[in-house]
Amino acid sequence: MVMLGCRSRSVWAQEVTYGSNGWHSHRHGLLFPTNDFYTADEIQDILTEILLRKLPLVGLEGSREDARKYGIRVSDAGAEIAEYIAKFGHEPRWDAASELTLATFKRGKKAASKTPWALLDSAQGGSMEDAERYKEYLAVYGGKRQLVWSRGLRADLGLGEEVGDEEAAHEEEEGEVVCTIEPQDWNLICWFNLRGQVLVAAENEGATGVQRVIEYAHQLFDIRGYGPRKEGEACI
Residue 2 falls inside a structural domain: no
Tell me the residue length of the chain: 236
Residue 144 CB-density burial (10 A; 0-12 exposed, 13-18 middle, 19+ buried): exposed
- Considering the domain architecture, whether residues 204 and 94 belong to the same structural domain is answered as no
Residue 184 falls inside a structural domain: yes
206 or 232: which carries more pLDDT confidence?
206
- Considering the domain architecture, whether residues 126 and 193 belong to the same structural domain is answered as no
Give tens-digit pLDDT for 27-60: 888 877 776 677 888 888 888 999 899 889 989 8
- Considering the domain architecture, whether residues 109 and 131 belong to the same structural domain is answered as yes
Q: Does residue 181 carry a pLDDT above 90?
A: yes
Give tens-digit pLDDT for 97-112: 554 444 554 555 455 6
> What total of structural domains would you count in the chain?
2
Q: Does residue 143 carry a pLDDT above 60?
A: yes
Cα-Cα-Cα-Cα torsion 123, 126, 132, 138, nearest 10 degrees, comes to: 20
Domain boundary (169, 186, 204) is at: 169
- Considering the domain architecture, whether residues 164 and 199 belong to the same structural domain is answered as no
Residue 4 falls inside a structural domain: no
Sign of CA dihedral 79, 162, 174, 143: positive
- Considering the domain architecture, whether residues 87 and 138 belong to the same structural domain is answered as yes
Residue 3 falls inside a structural domain: no
The answer to whether 34 touches 153, Cβ cutoff 8 Å, is no
- Considering the domain architecture, whether residues 26 and 117 belong to the same structural domain is answered as yes
- Considering the domain architecture, whether residues 122 and 187 belong to the same structural domain is answered as no
Q: Does residue 215 carry a pLDDT above 90?
A: yes
- Considering the domain architecture, whether residues 78 and 99 belong to the same structural domain is answered as yes
Residue 28 falls inside a structural domain: yes
Q: Average pLDDT over the chain, rounded to whole?
A: 76
Q: For residue 156, give Cα distances in angstroms to 3, 6, 62, 77, 163.
A: 21, 18, 38, 18, 16
pLDDT number for residue 90: 39
CA dist 180 and 178 (Å) reads 7
Q: What is the domain extent for residue 198? A: 176-236
Residue 235 falls inside a structural domain: yes
- Considering the domain architecture, whether residues 16 and 132 belong to the same structural domain is answered as yes
pLDDT number for residue 136: 94
Domain boundary (169, 204, 219) is at: 169
- Considering the domain architecture, whether residues 59 and 158 belong to the same structural domain is answered as yes
* pTM score, whole prediction: 0.52
CA dist 8 and 34 (Å) reads 6
pLDDT number for residue 171: 60
Residue 1 falls inside a structural domain: no
Contacts of 36 (CB under 8 A, 6+ apart): none
209 or 92: which carries more pLDDT confidence?
209
- Considering the domain architecture, whether residues 133 and 45 belong to the same structural domain is answered as yes
Domain boundary (154, 169, 184) is at: 169
Mean pLDDT across 7-20: 81
- Considering the domain architecture, whether residues 17 and 93 belong to the same structural domain is answered as yes
Residue 221 falls inside a structural domain: yes
Mean pLDDT across 135-146: 86
- Alpha-carbon Rg for the chain, nearest whole angstrom, is 24
